[in-house]
Amino acid sequence: MNISTLPDGLSRLRFDNRFTRELPADPETGSNRRQIRDACFSRIQPTPVVAPQLVAYSAEVADSLGLSVADCESAAFAEIFTGNRVLADMDPHATCYGGHQFGNWAGQLGDGRAINLGEVITPDGARQVLQLKGAGPTPYSRSADGLAVLRSSVREFLCSEAMHHLGVPTTRALSLTLTGEQVMRDMLYDGHPALEPGAVVCRVAPSFTRFGHFQMLAARGEIELLRKFLHFTLEVDFPHLLAQHEAGSREVVLAWFAEVCERTAEMVAHWMRVGFVHGVMNTDNMSVLGLTIDYGPYGWLEDYDPDWTPNTTDAAGRRYRFGHQPAVAQWNLLQLANSIYPLVEDAAPLEEHLRGFEIRYMSRWQDMMAAKLGLKAFERTDAVLLETLESVLQLAETDMTLFFRNLAELDPTMLQRPAELMDPLLPAYYLPDQLTDEVRSEIHAWLAAYLQRVGDDRQAPELRRARMNGANPRYVLRNYLAQLAIDKSESGDYSVVHELLQVLRQPYADQPGKEAFAEKRPDWARTRVGCSQLSCSS
């Protein structure tokens, strides 16, 4: 298209495309399914659709790219970010990676329904990759069509932005668009496929490099390309490490792995803080930048159950259950360590960093729990308090978000009024009949021990409450809220998407008039598909 016809912001987008310029390409183009060798990506064009239509966009992400409201609401924006128009400086491609899926090596995977448009240099000099999810088949789509449906796209768009505002490391979402076409999906893989509206999400991140990129190169025995890919990753995403260590040295590889462990520990600690369950923590869904990536069958822990998984595919083994996420992260890091071993040729320092992950994660978890409880700092004696809390939260069906948020309403003076101790927490319980005298007695005992500990801290009540309210959100993207937005959207009403996007921009603030978005899961959503569990289908 003639760039002069574009709105100003879109015409000023500056693409650098270092990934495709410096790394080897698959010599074949097009979406023909194939195994590739000695290459990191394949060039592929998005598939044009019938009627691109903007549903929503993130104003913050747009602004970071130098795009105005007029840019985002233009017809050209919908055309570009649904895949119908490719700007002259873009270099669309899909990357190749492998991975372990549910603990088993799956071989070549790759961007099966994601097409990278290119790397934009933002007005402040940052590098951001723009990636379309659902824009058509790629060489890595295997037997799938490379498309996405509105249902899963609403969930990805909203959750990407919700996680960012919660302070969780994540990829972002620029836009959600409709294609004007219908896509066939068997949502529960139960032999009942149906047509659903097609959609595309434009995802944004400094890079989408995954553990699986390194795994694939190592599995193919392409060690020199593995070395080159790691050096590229260091130059683009970890330049500070090259300033500290010699390029190509064993030391820089180990320093990089240590930082990936550090970032992964921080990310998972944040997941546990807000009650997020990824649902499909395969190694190909793990970012080396420690970003939450690939919002598929995720869910939010409503009833506090450490064994809960949102993924129907994982219902039997529960590999990716809430409480197991730190252990899975470490296992995934082990697979990354195995992949880069040829660049180190010494297992001992890699094993040391893997053990270090446990230490880093535990330190972050302890700090996080101290913040959730409003304590000045975690003390060794707090271990018993936290262990008992884990049991107390499972005595009755307890809403995690409401419990911790409302806990800030208690103060040590209430020890003089024991009958009132539980009053602020009652909205967090789903089934009041479960609060038997015995259960209440155990909860009371923990609350008394907790308030005694708070009193020992000698912290001003307003400071403690602010600390707690900064760690415990009032609003999260509850599973049923996402489903309400989907239900409305599938009827052509996108108002709930827009309202949720606004509410979730301030998840820690009490927002008058938005109390309904902070309520616990209604009973109708207890077992409804989309509100309780999901499949990998999109």
| 3-state SS class at 300 | strand
Sign of CA dihedral 18, 23, 28, 34: negative
Cα–Cα distance measured from residue 358 to residue 351, given in angstroms and rounded to the nearest whole number: 11
CA distances from 17 to 21, 233, 236 (A): 6, 14, 11
- Best CA proximity match to 440, nearest among 423, 427, 453: 423
Single-letter amino acid code for the residue at 116 = N
The residue annotated as part of the active site, out of 26, 111, 284, 382, is 284
Residue 41 identity (one-letter amino acid)? F
Partners of 205 in beta bridges = 129
Contact 30, 44 (CB under 8 A): yes
Residue 291 CA from chain centroid, whole number:
7
Question: Would you call 294 helix, strand, or coil by DSSP?
Answer: coil
| DSSP bridge pairs for 170 | 292
CB 166 within 8 A of CB 459: no
3-state secondary structure 236-262: HHCHHHHHHCCCCCHHHHHHHHHHHHH
Element (H, E) at 104: strand 104-108
At 39, list the tokens: 């290459």
Report the C-alpha gap between 422 and 188 in whole angstroms. Answer: 40
- The answer to whether residue 284 is catalytic is yes
The partner residues of 178 in beta bridges, in order of sequence, read 53, 199
Residue that the structure tokens 């295997």 belong to: 142
User: 55 near 497, Cβ under 8 Å?
Assistant: yes
Note the Cα 104 to chain centre separation in Å: 22
Q: What spatial distance separates the first Cα and last Cα of the chain, rounded to whole Å?
A: 31
Q: List active site positions.
A: 284
